[in-house]
Amino acid sequence: MVRKASPVLPEVNFSEEGPIRHLHLGSEWIQGSMLVDDPTALVHEYIQRMMAWLLFVDPVTVPKRQALQLGLGAGSLTKFCHKALKMKTTAIELNPQVLHACRGWFKLPADNSRMQVVLADASQEIKQAHWLGAVDALQVDLYDEEAAAPVLDSADFYADCRATLTEEGCMTVNLFGRSSSFQASVDKIAQAFGADAIWAFKATREGNTVVLAQRTPSRPKRALLMERADFIQSHWGLPADKWVRVFKPVQA
C-alpha cells in the first residue's frame, strides 16, 4: 500500500500597512486583513459584502442562526459573526499555520461554546451529517498562495454546499480573477442551486466579485431590502444601503 503524500502547505506570514495588518500565504497576495485598533471590523469591501445574506433574513433572528466559513483567512468573518452578530460560528481551515497566525496576530478567540475552528479539508468536512441542512450563512473564500481561482470550484462542491443550508440559508462566495474564470464559476453554482437562486455584486476595485446563492430562491421587495439594509447599517456598521444599489439577481 502506498501512503498518499500530504499536501505541502505554504508558509504563513503577515505585513503591516499603517493601521492595518495583512495575512499572506508566502506571497504578495493578501489573504485577509485586520484593523489593529478594531479587530472585529471588516476591512475590505468584498469581505463586508460576504455578509449580504443578512438582507434575506429577519434581523432579530440572526443570533439564533449558524454561520460556517470555508477558509479562515485572517479570521475576519469568523470574528464578526461570533462577536458582532452573536451567532454560533464555525470555520473550516486546512492549514494549521493559518489558525496559529489568527490566534497570534489577528486576535481570534480560543474555541468556545459558540465558536470553533475545525482543521480539515472543507470539501470533505461539509459532507459530514451534522452539517446537512444546518447552516444559515455559508461563507466560501478558498484561495491558495497564487490567488488565481478558487481552490474548490466544481458543480459537485457547490451541490454539497447547498446541502448544508437551511431553507432560508444562503451561500456567499468570493470570486476573484479573470472575467472568464468568474463566469465559469457562476455557471457551476447555477448547476447546483439553479439560475434563479443567484445574486451578484458588481466587482470591487480590487477585482473581487461576491456571489450569493439561496437554498430557496426569493425576490424580496426593494422596500423590504432597504428596511433590512437600514437595520444592518445602524446595528452592525455595514454599508448595506450601498449593497442594495449594486446587488441584483443574475437572472432577471
Catalytic residues: 141
- The alpha carbon of residue 30 and the mean position of all alpha carbons in its chain are separated, in whole angstroms, by 15
Cell numbers 447546483 label which residue? Answer: 192
Return contacts of 40-45, CB within 8 angstroms, 24+ apart: 40/79, 40/80, 40/83, 40/84, 41/237, 42/76, 42/77, 42/80, 42/238, 43/76, 44/204, 44/206, 44/208, 45/204, 45/205, 45/206, 45/208
Q: Which grid cell is 247?
A: 446587488
